[in-house]
Amino acid sequence: MSSKGIVILASPSPSNAIIFNHLAPRFEMLRVIVERRLSRFTVFRKRVKKFGALSALGQAAFRSLIYPVLELTSRKRLRQIAAEHNLSSTAIPENLITRLDSANSVDTIVLLKQLNPAVVIVNGTRILSIEVLEAVSAKFINLHAGITPRYRGVHGAYWALVEARSDLCGVTVHEIDIGIDTGPVLAQAPIRPTAADNFVTYQMLQLAACLPLLDSVLPNLLENRELAPQTSNECSKLWSHPTASEYIRNRILRGVK
């Protein structure tokens, strides 16, 4: 029998603290399990295999040359969003953090069985194995930065704006299955970027929009009440990181920052 507690299973990210601090006054937080970040070489090798060398190099160029500039120039706007939505980055207590090599490791499975949570909130990990998903009876839910099924993968808000689909610029909370962002949709919310926003700040707006969704979804999941999944007639598409040339082209031709 599962507890009524929550585990966060995540990649290393400042957003983990924001999620934890929002939920901790409302729910029983059992543990935050943080997997080790893959090396840049490993990530690059995977992208070469998946997208080809040219696209992988373009994505690396965006990440190393353009993203840091956006991040640097967005600090004031990020602070503004955090203040407007009462987002706290206070450090998670160390006694509640367990750092493991991989979200799919045997150690993760053992720890999940020991904690026996009712819900596992997944935030940015690598794709979870079926062994992890079936290790406990908990509901695994994903905080997805995009409106599925149209914007699966990464940077859904950015790609929605590129496609002039501001109506699908937002976030999704969904159950996790063996696909990539293909699980049943539990809740969705739009975001409304301003002229002051860009690739970096879209993510903070999405995080802010996602937290109220958790407030509405978690009480039902913790009490084992089934939620009717939302449906959509939109086509399903998987998106990746932009290359440097794609970003520059979209910024010039479409005005999407």
pLDDT, tens digit (0-9, with 9 covering 90-100), for 127-178 = 999 999 999 999 999 999 999 999 999 999 999 999 999 999 999 999 999 9
Q: Rounded mean pLDDT of 211-229?
A: 90
Mean pLDDT of the 181-209 span: 97
The confidence score (pLDDT) of residue 1 equals 46
Instruction: Reduce the DSSP state of residue 81 to 3 states and report it.
Output: helix
Q: Domains in the chain and their CATH numbers?
A: 6-254 (3.40.50.12230)
Nearest to 69 by CA among 196, 241, 200: 200
Judged by DSSP in three states, 79 sits in helix
Count CB-CB contacts under 10 A for residue 96.
15
**Contact (CB, 8 A) for 30 and 6:** yes
105-118 pLDDT, tens digit each: 999 999 999 999 99
